[in-house]
Structure 1
Amino acid sequence: MKIITLPHEPAVRWPVFDSESEAAVLQILRDGNVSTHPVIRELEQDYEAFTGRRHALAHNNGTSALLAAFHALGLQPGDEILVPTATFWASVLPMIWCGIIPVFCESEPVTLGIDPADMWRKITSRTKAVVIVHLWGLPCQVDEIQQVCDEFDLRIIEDASHAHGAVYHGRNCGAVGDISVFSLQGDKLAPAGEGGILLTDNADYLERAACLGDITRIIELDSPARRFAATGMGIKTRIAPMSAALGRVSLRKLTESNRVRNENHRWLSECLENLGFDCFLPPTGIGRVYFEFLIRHRDPAFETSRFMDRLQSLGGQVSTPRYPLLHEQPLFREGHVARIGRFPEDVRLPDYAGISFPQTEHENRRLIKLPNFCHPCEKLLEQYRDAFEHAVRSH
């Protein structure tokens, strides 16, 4: 007999675009400039104000923004970047096309971010940077990571794609790295359909990123780099104005939409914490958001798979995390990285086929993904609480 009987669609539907979103897009169409409209600069200014950054550069998606970030750091083929294996592939794969070697690291169990202790173990003379990811909207251990980076003079690329509105000890996520990136893809907290934002306080990084793929911006440079205005670096990464218009409206609505998600998820989290679950509630000084709602039982031996089967039979929409671990994927296991990357002949790649990450693999198996409750849904949340109570009693 099902306990969760209410429809999910009204509570979980995302994204939701309203009349303000429609008007923003229609204005672009009426203006007629659907390629280089000033709304792109307006979106960039919005994100500069939102994060406190000096410079923003809009891209056609977050993947392109990450590619620009790797390019902007001026790294050379054969350099290494430390990356988590528990992340979306765009945090990692663009660096391969630059000839940069991804070196996978464990994730620590508290925030599921890259493990500073494993970073120490993986650093070599070729290590130049680290990618940090605030997975699912929970800021990672930035201070501990920064200590390692300061010791070894490493740059930080911050993938804040899950973390629009999250705060780390008074600093907005998106303002933590030497270069930071947001995705504006349709599932994200401030969606634009497709889009990405690169942010930095370093004017040289901004210039290199622009030279990679925004010819319009290169033309406006007042530096020797303007000589590349006719060609750029051969890639086009500029965002479409209609996406930029959507992104501006979504960012304006972010505070309220995050408030509703947080209230829903915190209420249910407090109920589930009393049943023995760890719901990744943030400690003092950390303001998390909910790109996705992940929990785990505090008992490492808890039979997660069987418990999820029980919840599903009670009407719950629960599943495993959406991202497979990257080191387990055929691209790495079957040697394709060596074929697509432009690596120096004297560089030896990691043994991607032979590596394992027992801590990350163990924690990943424990995670239960719940729906994102994006809209007021008190009765549905109560049904989820009741279903969990019933499943725990019968587990």
Structure 2
Amino acid sequence: MYKIPIYQPSLTGNEKNYVNECLDSTWISSKGRFITEFEDEFATYTGTRYASSVCNGTVALHLALVALGIGPGDEVIVPTLTYISSVNAIAYTGATPVFVDSLESTWQMDPDDVSRKISPNTRAIMVVHLYGHPCDMDPLVSIAKEHGLFMIEDCAEAFGSFYKGRHVGSFGDIATYSFYGNKTITTGEGGMVVTNDETLYDRVVHFKGQGLAKHRQYWHDVIGYNYRMNNISAAIGLAQLERADDLLAKKRQVAQWYAEGLAGVPVTFHREVGNVHHSYWMCSIMVDDPLMRDPLREALEREGVETRPVFYPVHTMPMYAQKFQRHPVAESIGWRGINLPSWPELRIGQIQEINSMIKTFVTKG
């Protein structure tokens, strides 16, 4: 057990009341009032027309790709600095992930590298809003329109993030979210697919429910999937959504305490850059020397502080490393980055303690 874990959910609202209502009513599977209410409220919160709940964030990505018709022979451009599920979902469809590098300033995918990687087989760009910082959407949207490409936004880590006053997930053709236990709002396990396109929404609903025909009972007209969310998970999600503004504000405060305490310390704090609103799903730093990263994490662990390494670039992993590639910015961030404890109920004293440990370690060298 860690004295200060990397994350723990805040469950102090209506979560228990709503779950007990599910149990009392016996509506515990993929039907019930909480599913519809959670979907409707989530669409409203994120500024999209349609939302369809699913059982986790990875299947949300797969479902979005399937709804767009992505398959063998297609290429999907994706940042290499991302969680593995972004890339695995592309591989599930038989399509080929094409990796791009990141911007040093924001850690997000590099639009110029996206342009360089477009080929006759490119069908889509998967935009990943890493750790809650929005990507630079204006050039990415322009690139997609210029080349007639679909855009999928992976917002698993970016609930509550805004680009130029507009919630991420509302720019592309389709977007996905994760509600795993360490996400800003959680359902334990769960996800959401959102879109402004009615046809895409209908396809998502069709495919996620075993391909069940709309007007004929127990008749299935496509090979579908069992990707539905259950009513208990949706009940937790709705209770979390009711508290979303407060949770997001607390996470912004946590980030501010880190940034203030680490000012002048020879580490780089992952701040927001440009006309964006960073939701700080994870508060992260980079050390100057990659050889310092793991010893610093070990020093924090000895004091009971849990950390994580920033995601390793996916192009370096065995199943995606058949061809040698270099993405120097992503590699630099991946070898030097650390995720710090980032849950909303962290107290200033705990963060001051972590900041002090970091300062002591890096200044002693």
Alignment TM-score, normalising by the size of structure 1: 0.84
Code of the aligned partner of 1:143? D
Give the gaps of 5 or more residues in structure 1: 1-6, 221-225, 334-351
Question: Does residue 1:30 correspond to 2:30, yes or no?
Answer: no
Code of the aligned partner of 1:196? G
Q: What per-residue deviation string (whole Å, max 9, x for no partner) do you get for residues 224-243 of structure 1?
A: xx799535423111101100
CA–CA separation in structure 2 for the residues paired with 1:277 and 1:149: 35
Any idea what SS the aligned residue of 2:14 has? helix
Q: What is the aligned counterpart of 1:375 among 345, 359, 365?
A: 345
CA–CA separation in structure 2 for the residues paired with 1:329 and 1:166: 29
Measure how far apart 1:311 and its partner are. Answer: 4.5
Q: What is the aligned counterpart of 2:292 among 300, 304, 312?
A: 304
1:165 touches 1:172 (CA, 8 Å); kept in 2? yes
Measure how far apart 1:383 and its partner are. Answer: 2.0
Q: What per-residue deviation string (whole Å, max 9, x for no partner) do you get for residues 32-86 of structure 1?
A: 1222112111111011110111111111111111111101112342011001111
Q: What is the aligned counterpart of 1:356 among 299, 303, 326?
A: 326
Q: What is the aligned counterpart of 2:137 among 124, 139, 142?
A: 142
Equivalent residue number for residue 346 of structure 1: none
Equivalent residue number for residue 3 of structure 1: none
Q: What is the aligned counterpart of 2:184 among 189, 193, 197?
A: 189
Q: What is the aligned counterpart of 2:262 among 244, 264, 272?
A: 272
Task: Describe the shift of the 1:99–1:10 C-alpha distance in structure 2 as closer, same or farther (beyond 3 A).
Answer: closer
Code of the aligned partner of 1:20? N
Task: Describe the shift of the 1:354–1:18 C-alpha distance in structure 2 as closer, same or farther (beyond 3 A).
Answer: same
CA–CA separation in structure 2 for the residues paired with 1:247 and 1:70: 24
Q: What is the aligned counterpart of 2:312 among 313, 318, 324?
A: 324
Q: What per-residue deviation string (whole Å, max 9, x for no partner) do you get for residues 346-390 of structure 1?
A: xxxxxx342232221122112122211421412222223333333
Q: What per-residue deviation string (whole Å, max 9, x for no partner) do you get for residues 65-122 of structure 1?
A: 1111101112342011001111112212122232211111112212212111211121
Task: Describe the shift of the 1:39–1:69 C-alpha distance in structure 2 as closer, same or farther (beyond 3 A).
Answer: same
Task: Describe the shift of the 1:242–1:370 C-alpha distance in structure 2 as closer, same or farther (beyond 3 A).
Answer: same
Question: Does residue 1:288 correspond to 2:278, yes or no?
Answer: yes
Work out the number of aligned pairs and report it.
364
Equivalent residue number for residue 212 of structure 1: 207
CA–CA separation in structure 1 for the residues paired with 2:320 and 2:273: 35
Question: Does residue 1:115 correspond to 2:110, yes or no?
Answer: yes
Q: What is the aligned counterpart of 2:91 among 74, 87, 96?
A: 96
Code of the aligned partner of 2:100? C
CA–CA separation in structure 2 for the residues paired with 1:310 and 1:13: 18
Q: What per-residue deviation string (whole Å, max 9, x for no partner) do you get for residues 253-288 of structure 1?
A: 121112112112212212313224321221352111
Question: Does residue 1:133 correspond to 2:121, yes or no?
Answer: no
Any idea what SS the aligned residue of 1:91 has? helix
Q: What per-residue deviation string (whole Å, max 9, x for no partner) do you get for residues 174-199 of structure 1?
A: 22221010111111111001111100
Task: Describe the shift of the 1:11–1:257 C-alpha distance in structure 2 as closer, same or farther (beyond 3 A).
Answer: farther
Task: Describe the shift of the 1:306–1:58 C-alpha distance in structure 2 as closer, same or farther (beyond 3 A).
Answer: closer
CA–CA separation in structure 1 for the residues paired with 2:330 and 2:52: 33
CA–CA separation in structure 2 for the residues paired with 1:97 and 1:379: 45
* Larger Cα-atom Rg: 1
1:28 touches 1:241 (CA, 8 Å); kept in 2? yes
CA–CA separation in structure 1 for the residues paired with 2:179 and 2:290: 36
User: Superposition RMSD on alpha carbons, in Å?
Assistant: 2.6
Equivalent residue number for residue 162 of structure 2: 167
Any idea what SS the aligned residue of 1:273 has? coil
Any idea what SS the aligned residue of 2:52 has? strand
Structure 1 segments of 4+ aligned residues over 6 angstroms from their partners:
none
Q: What is the aligned counterpart of 1:246 among 220, 236, 254?
A: 236
Task: Describe the shift of the 1:218–1:26 C-alpha distance in structure 2 as closer, same or farther (beyond 3 A).
Answer: farther
Measure how far apart 1:206 and its partner are. Answer: 1.0
Measure how far apart 1:201 and its partner are. Answer: 0.6
CA–CA separation in structure 2 for the residues paired with 1:99 and 1:216: 19
Code of the aligned partner of 2:350? L
Q: What per-residue deviation string (whole Å, max 9, x for no partner) do you get for residues 207-238 of structure 1?
A: 22122122598536xxxxx7995354231111
Equivalent residue number for residue 360 of structure 2: 390
Code of the aligned partner of 2:261? C
Question: Does residue 1:70 correspond to 2:56, yes or no?
Answer: no
1:316 touches 1:384 (CA, 8 Å); kept in 2? no
Measure how far apart 1:313 and its partner are. Answer: 7.8
Q: Percent identity?
A: 27
